[in-house]
Amino acid sequence: MTTVSSPLAGRAIGLAAVPDPVFSGAMVGPGTAIDPVREPSEAVAPVDGVIVSLHPHAFVVVDESGHGVLTHLGIDTVQLNGEGFELLVNKGDTVVRGQGVVRWDPAAVEAAGKSPICPIVALEATAEALTDLLEKGDVKAGESLFLWK
């Protein structure tokens, strides 16, 4: 059982509320989404593991049981070409839950015309594999978003 923590402070809104059909339709995988607080912050690792994919706008951490968790910072933010994002780790690094991975500013993303909403997705999982899924309410970075069986 893996506990997946929130990489950000904000409000849990669930994947269905993400303004992107790939995420809202859970095509990438099940999970939830965070509408982040609008202040510069660090997106932190949601689990202990290894950074297997790292881009300014998104990262994947794989834990010891092989579960990959995608944190996507905003929607269509790849179009910002890294502007406003600062990588704090490197691909291949081992990270601990709560460790800063990317520094960013959700308000700047919004000002650039993109949605700052952040999907947190269990890659290659079934919806049945997730329990205690948080889909509403305020959440702090590091608080549990869901359990992955």
Active site residues per annotation:
72
CA atoms within 13 A on the CB side of 56: 15
Residue 31: CB atoms within 10 A of its CB come to 29
Q: At 16, is the secondary structure helix, strand, or coil?
A: helix
- Give the separation between CA 46 and CA 143, rounded to whole angstroms: 9
Name 25's Cβ contacts closer than 8 Å, sequence gap at least 6.
none
Residue 129 DSSP SS3: helix
